[in-house]
Amino acid sequence: MNAWKGKLIGALLGLLTRRFQLVLLGLAIGHLYDMGLFSARRGEPKPDAAEPDPYAVLGVAEDASMDEIDAAYRRKMSDYHPDKVANAAAEIKALAETRAREINAAYEAIRKRRQGA
């Protein structure tokens, strides 16, 4: 991953001026460069933004049986089901809902793959 090159170049250019403020400015501009702000392809999704591996989300191997996948799905949902945190803070509820959606999507993706195969 090359998420450090812009910061390094910016910091080095700032160090050449021997001014602390320009080092910080170089780091900030380098950070923006690393984020892709200056890229001509800003509207395109990053390759890292691809969907996560459904087997990794459920914590099972790709060659796991459907019974093992079902058990892993139930175990994960029992940990992250939004009803378990109904009285918790809004941030925790939102996190639980997000994780539950991820787990459901992973389970459905595996089921579709297995039915099509």
State the pTM of this model. Answer: 0.56
**pLDDT by residue (tens digit) across 75-110?**
999 988 888 888 888 888 888 999 999 999 999 999
- Taking CA atoms, 109 is separated from 1, 52, 78, 83, 88, in Å, by 28, 11, 19, 23, 30
End-to-end CA distance of the chain: give it in Å, rounded: 34
**pLDDT by residue (tens digit) across 42-86?**
555 555 556 788 999 999 999 999 999 999 999 999 988 888 888
**Residues contacting 31, CB < 8 A, separation 6+:** 6, 7, 10
The domains of the chain, with CATH numbers, are 1-50 (no CATH), 51-116 (1.10.287.110)
